[in-house]
């Protein structure tokens, strides 16, 4: 099912998408266009994979990694569906990255590839935003380039694993102001979901709610102040966020849902 977390009529609610409307646990229906969206999950850890599609590595003129290339995505970067992405002052080249995000369903360590899907609770869409100015081989992992506040939109739904028949064959697309800029398929990932989970869990305990971003295909391009990004993955919905310029008096972020009033 497609689970959602949102605010309506001053209340923080959880529910599911049914027939195009959000139905909360009390059975009350809400128009998706009239609610304030929250993150689909409150993550513990957020990990990303760099260069997990060969065509994306090629467009950056980089070699394919020999093992999963991991980086941290700060929790302060997370942003719900319809939240505003902040374009850093002085940035020359900021771009989107549409990615399938795994949501871990239960705590596990040293997971074998054959058992990896057993610990996946579900999936959502991620936009792994980057200021390319600050990403070089010298300074990888790319924390400064990818770690800005609002640079990790997630959502809109937590789609449970039973609803995704084949996560290794999902189409991904990114649009900017209605123009298709990026398209790919998860079947082209260098490291598949079982390999990723087995690799990470060899040295790190994965816990329920942890999120892993699985990489992006070819097709990055500049987004600018005033643009609207729409990211789609087959069966998972569409994640939309506008872009606004950073201001000098920006408030510090104090948690994953600091940008919405509960």
Q: Which of 205, 46, 193, 54 is nearest to 118 (CA)?
A: 193
Beta bridge partners of 21: 18
Print pLDDT tens along the chain (262 aa). Answer: 999 999 999 999 999 999 999 999 999 999 999 999 999 999 899 999 999 999 999 998 888 999 999 999 999 999 999 999 999 999 999 999 999 999 999 999 999 999 999 999 999 999 999 999 888 765 567 788 999 999 999 999 999 999 999 999 999 999 999 999 999 999 999 999 999 999 999 999 999 999 999 999 999 999 999 999 999 999 999 999 999 999 876 666 554 454 443 3
* Residue the block writes with tokens 């979901």: 193
Contact 196, 49 (CB under 8 A): yes
d(CA 76, CA 258): 9
The domain segmentation of the chain, as residue ranges, is: 1-37, 39-245
Q: Which long-range contacts (CB under 8 A, 24 or more apart) does 139-146 make?
A: 140/50, 140/69, 140/71, 141/50, 141/69, 141/70, 141/71, 141/72, 142/50, 142/71, 143/71, 143/72, 143/74, 146/48, 146/71, 146/73, 146/77
Q: What is the CATH number of domain 1-37?
A: 2.30.30.370
Which homologous superfamily does the CATH classification assign to the domain defined by 39-245?
Fumarylacetoacetase-like, C-terminal domain (3.90.850.10)
List the one residue out of 105, 104, 95, 102 whose CA is nearest residue 134: 95
Provide the greatest CA pair distance for the chain: 53
Q: In what order do the strands lie in the sheet with 179-185?
A: 84-87, 237-245, 228-233, 171-176, 179-185
Cα 257 to Cα 36, 37, 78, 83, 260: the distances in Å are: 11, 10, 8, 10, 6
H/E run at residue 145: helix 143-146
């Amino acid at each position: 099912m497609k689970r959602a977390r949102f605010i309506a009529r001053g209340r923080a609610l959880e529910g599911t998408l049914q027939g195009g409307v959000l139905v909360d646990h009390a059975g009350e229906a809400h128009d998706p266009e009239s609610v304030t969206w929250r993150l689909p999950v409150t993550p513990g850890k957020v990990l990303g994979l760099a260069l997990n599609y060969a065509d994306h590595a090629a467009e950056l003129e980089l070699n394919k990694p020999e093992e999963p290339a991991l980086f941290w995505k700060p929790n302060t970067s997370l942003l719900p569906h319809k939240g505003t992405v902040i374009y850093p002052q002085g940035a020359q080249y900021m771009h989107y990255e549409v990615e399938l995000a795994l949501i871990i369903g239960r705590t596990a360590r040293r997971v074998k590839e054959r058992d990896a899907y057993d610990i996946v609770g579900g999936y959502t869409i991620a936009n792994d935003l980057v200021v390319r100015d600050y990403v070089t081989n010298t300074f990888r992992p790319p924390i400064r380039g990818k770690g800005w506040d609002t640079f990790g939109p997630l959502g809109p739904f937590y789609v449970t694993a039973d609803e995704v028949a084949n996560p290794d064959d999902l189409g991904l697309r990114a649009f900017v102001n209605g123009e298709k800029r990026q398209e790919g398929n998860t079947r082209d990932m260098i490291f598949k979901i079982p390999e990723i989970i087995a690799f990470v869990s060899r040295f790190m305990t994965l816990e329920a709610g942890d999120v892993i971003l699985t990489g992006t295909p070819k097709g990055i391009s500049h987004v600018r102040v005033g643009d609207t990004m729409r990211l789609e993955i087959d069966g998972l919905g569409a994640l939309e966020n506008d872009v606004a310029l950073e201001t000098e008096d920006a408030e510090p972020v104090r948690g994953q849902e600091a940008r919405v009033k509960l």
